[in-house]
């Protein structure tokens, strides 16, 4: 998985990216407020001008500073655009939003090419930059909506076992398959911990968290601490009930029902699996009389 793919699914990064794009948009809009637009000047001059005059307009920058704008003000406005544009210059690689230019085979990065509107023979227009900026914001917000389905807690914050198994399908929006892979990973992990390769998936949790004493070839996973302690006893009962509930209400439906899950419902199931994986990580393996 590339760094770019990781950023596309990182809700914190995406929220910051939207903010940074808006800061660029504000800086660029502030620059334009200082400008005359060459296209407007040409339209005001009329279309009956000699060819050499029309050619002169074509060679001008798309925008030029108004006469009452000082050099210091102009330089400062461009510096703000350069600074804010630099923060987001990598985003076209993530969003795919670029500007197509007539006569050029390669599209333009709007956050790098904005400066050309202030240069002779401008190859993009201010409207191109603003439209690409808004499009970028829309694409990033859409990405954030898909991955940030659990508020401040994202799917990437799930237990590594769960997210590692679900990540590939989640990123292509196969949410049912992501949950199926995650529950399978937890079952396989518990099977490996207890050495019960002989068990079907449906029996792994009931055997691992069984309240009966462990025996040869059938160890149990137990919450650490004195078994007579009320909290420890409660956790051991809860682990059995919670894990078998996951088996019945999460694993079985995604295996037998091919209906696709909405992202929110899938995230809730991953959260339950993440909690179980965390509890399993805290458990000890009880072999009975044998050493753990």
Domain ranges across the chain:
3-147, 155-286
Distance CA 76, CA 170 (A): 44
Distance CA 250, CA 186 (A): 12
**3-state DSSP call for residue 29?**
helix
Give 223's DSSP letter.
-
Q: Residue 101: its pLDDT value, please?
A: 72
Distance CA 130, CA 54 (A): 26
Give 215's DSSP letter.
B
Nearest by Cα to 21 from 85, 100, 90: 85
Q: Residue 264: its pLDDT value, please?
A: 87
Q: Are 181 and 268 in contact (CB under 8 A)?
A: no
Q: Rounded mean pLDDT of 82-98?
A: 95
Does residue 43 carry a pLDDT above 60? no
pTM above the 0.85 mark? no
Comparing 10-14, 43-47, 116-120, 155-159, which segment has the lowest mean pLDDT? 43-47
pLDDT digits over 149-171, tens only? 545 557 888 999 999 999 999 98
């Amino acid at each position: 998985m590339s760094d770019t793919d990781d950023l596309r699914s990182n809700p914190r990064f995406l929220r910051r990216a939207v903010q940074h794009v808006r800061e660029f948009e504000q800086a660029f809009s502030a620059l334009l407020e200082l400008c005359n637009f060459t296209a407007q000047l040409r339209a005001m001059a009329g279309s009956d001008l000699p060819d050499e005059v029309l050619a002169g307009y074509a060679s001008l920058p798309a925008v030029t500073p108004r006469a009452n704008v000082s050099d210091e003000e102009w330089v400062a406005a461009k510096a703000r655009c350069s600074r804010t544009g630099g923060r987001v210059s990598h985003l076209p690689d993530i969003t795919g939003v670029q500007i197509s230019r007539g006569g050029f085979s390669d599209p333009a990065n709007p956050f790098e090419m904005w400066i050309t509107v202030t240069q002779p023979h401008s190859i993009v227009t201010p409207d191109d930059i603003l439209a690409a900026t808004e499009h970028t914001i829309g694409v990033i917000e859409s990405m954030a909506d898909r991955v940030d389905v659990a508020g401040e807690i994202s799917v990437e914050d799930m237990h590594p076992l769960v997210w590692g198994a679900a990540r590939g399908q989640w990123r292509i929006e196969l949410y049912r398959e992501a949950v199926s892979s995650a529950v399978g990973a937890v079952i396989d992990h518990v099977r490996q911990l207890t050495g019960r390769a002989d068990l079907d998936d449906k029996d792994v949790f009931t055997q691992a968290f069984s309240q009966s004493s462990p025996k040869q070839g059938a160890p149990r996973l137990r919450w650490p601490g004195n078994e007579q302690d009320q909290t420890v006893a409660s956790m051991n009962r809860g682990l059995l009930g919670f894990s078998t509930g996951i088996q019945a209400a999460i694993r079985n439906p995604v295996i037998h029902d091919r209906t696709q899950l909405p992202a929110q419902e899938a995230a809730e199931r991953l959260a339950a699996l993440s909690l179980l994986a965390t509890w399993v990580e805290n458990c000890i393996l009880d072999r009975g009389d044998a050493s753990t």
